[in-house]
Chain A
Amino acid sequence: MKTGLARLAKELLRNSLRPVTANYPAIPEHARPHEPGEEVRGRHRFDVEKCVGCGACQTVCSSGAISVTDSGIERVLRIDLSTCIFCGRCRDICPEEGLQLTPEIPSAQPYGDILKTFKVEHSVDLSSCVGCGRPTYPKKQIETVRMRIISNLDKVNVDSARRDMDIYLKYCLNCRRSLSYIFGTHPRKLY
């Protein structure tokens, strides 16, 4: 029975020379703290080039941390990191790979700093309707949709599609409805 104690004592004495915790801020090599790997789901980062402002991330957010607000000709996407549960669904569903999760984990700070640092924001420009002047969709989203439709249709339909998109994508939904007689898209006019 006593051999158990002796073995434990030997194990502990071996431990005493190599502690597992780090001597912050002077960190020796063998006790270097663990850097989070690249897979870690931390603070979000909007890719300025790729994000089109479609708001798909808001529809799948598990906890309602992403909010999309339109004001004037600007759409602001804001992620509240204190509500976010870092599940990664927003990154998975983004069609343009415009939202990434970096390995930086938002850590504890004084309350005043938290109000400033615990949010991630991104704004895109909205295009306005040629008819009534109200803001419609983000400019980049319209452009991306147009490019994708053109590149996916076969040659026969590309020209007519391009012509239609040149007219319709400039108007908002309400104007398209009220101008449908002129455009020739009203259902009754087809008969």
Chain B
Amino acid sequence: MNLIELIIQATLLTSASFILGTIYNYEIRKISARLQSRRGPWLLVPKPLRKSLGTTRILQPLYDIIKLLCKETIIPPTARRRLFISAPLFALLCLVASSTIIPIGEYSALSSFDLSLVALLYLLLAVPFTLILGGSVSSSPWGIFGGQREADLMLAYETPIVIGSFTTAIMAGSMSIKEIQVAQTLSLPYLVLNPFAAAAVLLGIIGKLHLKPFDIPEAEVEIVAGPATEYSGKLLGLMEINKMLLTSVCIGLFINLFMAGGAVPGVTLNNPLTVLTYLAEGLIIVAVASLIHTLNPRFRIDQALDWYIKTAALLAAVGLCWAYILRYIYPAISG
């Protein structure tokens, strides 16, 4: 496709990614509220209030972001101003770039080039770095603490994600996300073939999205708000936008690597209905993640590292070995 089509599709993909991220975050709030015997934001607003509130509040996280963007931004005078402002901007840049690499169904702006998986993992690695940087230059001891904890946690959760993703690349025989997606339609989805790698990547994603039990860098009773303590107003709105995009990119990565990108028996990849199946599968994964999020308290950082090494990294290693074993048992997977 030519450049103009590429730009249009990239813009559409990024906006769709943002809206999807909003819906996923809404779902986390709604499910954890319902499990705690309360109601979350309304899915269907009661009739007397519809005039003032609209029919549904499913985009409630978006309204919160708009509220934040309208508020005053206060930057502490002893913080390093340029780094303070550019840290979330850089994260936004990385996330916009990664959302153009994740395909939604057949619409994929840039995911078909040869090493798109590597590029995606590289861009996703930059996001926690900007969080650490933003926390450290904000001249607040809580920011430094949050940055330290994020650095510790990053070592923990990146390992299963990277090993699990490369396992799927080995099974499909290519480092391009589009080819991994297509390879799954020829055999079974990798969720079924290699559940170990799928579990490892899912657990890593739960840590990356800072859902409990791994919301250690954002623990408000211990370190106020971690790296985001001194951020307010427009910059905080920017950080929230990053959170939406990160949710959508991570869930999209899981769906494309393990669930054939939305293709189910009856709906091939070329069918526009894959967008709906993509959304449905995303909602299911987020439901599982929010169940885990509601059931657990927070880990302490040393306990989290311990747990990750003993459980998730082990699962990822087992998945890697299993991929090699499968090559001998099920040679339909190309070598």
Contacts and interface: CB of A to CB of B under 8 A. Distances in A.
Direct contact of A and B (CB under 8 A): yes
Given A25-B48, A26-B47, A19 B295 contact: no
Interface string B283-317: 00000000100111000000000000000000000
B295 A8 contact: yes
A23 B49 CA distance: 11
Contacts of A23: 39, 46
Given A23-B46, A25-B49, A26-B46, A12 B38 contact: no
Which range holds the interface residue count of chain A? 10 to 19
A23 B41 CA distance: 11
A15 B35 contact: yes
A19 B38 contact: yes
Contacts of A26: 46-48
A20 B38 contact: yes
Most buried by B among A8, A19, A20: A19
B37 interface: yes
B272 to A, nearest CB: 33
A9 interface: yes
Contacts of A25: 46, 48-49
A16 B34 contact: yes
- The dominant DSSP class at the B interface is helix
Interface of B: 33-39, 46-49, 291, 294-296
A5 interface: yes
A24 B211 CA distance: 30
A5 B49 contact: no
A9 B295 contact: yes
Interface of A: 5, 8-9, 12-13, 15-16, 18-21, 23-26
A12 B294 contact: yes
Contact of B39 (A9, A13, A21): A21
14 contacts: A5-B296, A9-B291, A12-B35, A12-B36, A12-B294, A13-B35, A15-B36, A15-B37, A18-B37, A19-B33, A20-B37, A23-B46, A26-B47, A26-B48
Nearest to B42: A23
A20 B47 CA distance: 21
A24 B46 CA distance: 8
A8 B33 CA distance: 15
A31 to B, nearest CB: 9
Nearest to A31: B39
A16 B38 CA distance: 8
B197 to A, nearest CB: 22
Given A26-B46, A26-B47, A26-B48, A21 B38 contact: yes
B214 to A, nearest CB: 16
The 6 closest A-B pairs by CB, nearest first: A26-B46, A16-B34, A12-B35, A15-B37, A20-B37, A21-B38
A92 B6 CA distance: 81
A5 to B, nearest CB: 6
A25 B62 CA distance: 24
A32 to B, nearest CB: 15
Nearest to B32: A12
A39 B35 CA distance: 34
Most buried by B among A5, A13, A16, A21: A16
B39 A19 contact: yes
